[in-house]
Structures are given as C-alpha cells and as structure tokens.
Amino acid sequence: MSIVPELPDIAAYLDAIERRTRGRKLLRARLNSPFLLRSVEPPLAAVEGASVARLRRVGKRIALGFDNGLWLVLHLMIAGRLHWKEKSLKLSRRDLAAFDFDNGTLLLTEAGTKRRASLYVVRDPATLDPGGIEPLECSPAEFAAALTRENHTLKRALTDPRTIAGIGNAYSDEILHAARLSPIALSRKLAANEIAALHAATKSTLIHWVDKLRGEGFPEKVTAFRPEFAVHGKFGEPCPVCGANVQRIRYAENETNYCPGCQTGGKLLADRSLSRLLKSDWPRSLDELDLLYKK
C-alpha cells in the first residue's frame, strides 16, 4: 500500500537531494505529464540555468530554492516517488518528470494510473503552506493551542495539515502509541498532562525517525510499514511494550492501529459505531487529506 511520504520521509529526501544538488545548475527540466505542472507564471523554463541555493520542507512538500529567487515545489501525494540517476535517461510512461543537473538527474515517478503528484514554480513557497504548525519547532503552548483549536479525534488532529504539518497515517499511529493515548480521544477533552505527553511523543517519535532514515544513500524504500514500528501495520502482532495484540479500526479506505493495553485501558475500539465516528471525522481517504487544502 502506498502512502503520502510524511515528515521523516521528506526530511530524508531533502537531505539526499541537498547533498547532490546544492550549488549545482539545473540544466533542463523535462515533463512527461501535462497534469503535473499546476502553475503557469513563472514558467518552468525560468529555473533552467539557475543553481540550487537552498531546500526546505513545506508541510509534506519538497521545495528547491534557486539563486534567481524562484522555487520548485513538489508534492508527491500517495504514489509519487523521487529517485537519483547518475546519468540522464529517456522518460518511461511511469516517469512524470526529470530534472537534469551536471552530476545526475532527479527523477519523479508515480505508480498507478491516477496522476495526483504536483509541481509548482513559485516565488514564495509559503503560498502553498496549508498553515499547520511545525511539530519539531513549536512550543508546548503553540502545540496545545493548535490541537484544541477545533474538537476532533486525536487521529484527525495529528493528520490535518491545517493543524500540524507533515504527519500522516503511519506516524500518527506511532505517536499516539508513544503518548499512550486513544486515537478516538477528542482533542478538547484532553487534560493538560495528556497534551504535554502528546507534544513530547510527537517530537521524540519524529526526531527518532528523521535520524533513522537519514543516510548516505538515496531513499528508495519510502513505505508506511517498517519492521521497527510499534503498532502501525502490526494488526494481530504483540505490542513491543505490553505484549497485547495490536488492534485496528477500519473505515472507508483507512485503518488505524493501536494497542489496547497501552492506549485504551484494555478496551477494544473496533466496532461499527467507532468506525462511523472515525469516518465522519475526516475525508474518505486519510492519505489524500492534503487534497482538500491544496492551493
């Protein structure tokens, strides 16, 4: 199952791309899909011949800033993936775009037939920011204010890009397990100590995975299912903390994993009424939540 790459995955991409492209001139940008480019002005050709000066993450987007003041902003969505090729190559049907530098090519691919990935050329990448707080930079007070601005299940609150930037289905499960909180607990019903625990778990979980996924190689295995995860994708397996079998709530195209021993006082949540609650609290496909707030 494909996922929208989340904050740790995007951080790994940025780290690998920066090592290969910073200070390098973009010789040519090649598009293989007319649906990829979502902006008109400035034109894509305006970044050709410019050098990469800086990189940043904008929510779940990857932004490359050039020395002429323009930015390329990529949103991989569910099936988009990036690859680094040492030589320029002819684009296949699966390839959406290629960005040719003098030392190699950054290749954008997308599996399946639906074209959801997007590319923008902008002067300010902040115009594409849904507005959620940065979980690794926010203070405890900022986190609490964002979390309780609306009353949602914690699963929805963590994954809404207007609330918190960069978190999706996989890491929200891991964060909630680390905080020992139920995915269906309501954000405005939390006690102060529970909000503090969630803030700490969010930071520690994301930092752990950012550090773990960074490396010398280019990230080629962006996945929602990692063997070291505690609960996400581990339905029926024992929780590494308490040994209880990991449970799930299934709704529409989504699934939430949790440990009843660590998170719900031993209670099982996977019944029809809770599935309806979760289904009503956010869009039909959680990994496509960003589609509702894209610019």
More confident residue, 216 or 277: 216
User: What pLDDT does residue 280 have?
Assistant: 58
User: What pLDDT does residue 295 have?
Assistant: 43
Arch. (CATH architecture) of 140-293 = Orthogonal Bundle (1.10)
User: What pLDDT does residue 1 have?
Assistant: 47
Q: State how far the Cα of 122 lies from the Cα of 100, in Å rounded to an integer.
A: 19
User: What pLDDT does residue 227 have?
Assistant: 93
Arch. (CATH architecture) of 7-128 = Alpha-Beta Barrel (3.20)
Q: Are residues 167 and 60 in contact, defined by beta-carbon separation less than 8 angstroms?
A: no
Q: Looking at the predicted structure, is the pLDDT value of residue 205 above 60?
A: yes
Domain ranges within the chain, ordered by starting residue: 7-128, 140-293
Find the mean pLDDT for residues 271-275: 53
Q: State how far the Cα of 285 lies from the Cα of 283, in Å rounded to an integer.
A: 5
Per-residue pLDDT tens over the stretch 3-23: 789 999 999 999 999 999 999
Q: State how far the Cα of 284 lies from the Cα of 209, in Å rounded to an integer.
A: 27
Provide, rounded to the nearest whole percent, the portion of the chain with pLDDT above 70: 89
User: Which pLDDT band holds residue 112 (cuts at 50, 70, 90)?
Assistant: confident
Per-residue pLDDT tens over the stretch 179-203: 999 999 999 999 999 999 999 999 9
What is the rounded average pLDDT for all residues in the chain?
A: 90
Find the mean pLDDT for residues 169-185: 96
Q: State how far the Cα of 106 lies from the Cα of 82, in Å rounded to an integer.
A: 7
| Stated pTM of the model | 0.90
User: What pLDDT does residue 270 have?
Assistant: 58
Per-residue pLDDT tens over the stretch 217-265: 899 888 888 999 999 999 999 999 999 999 998 876 678 999 999 999 9
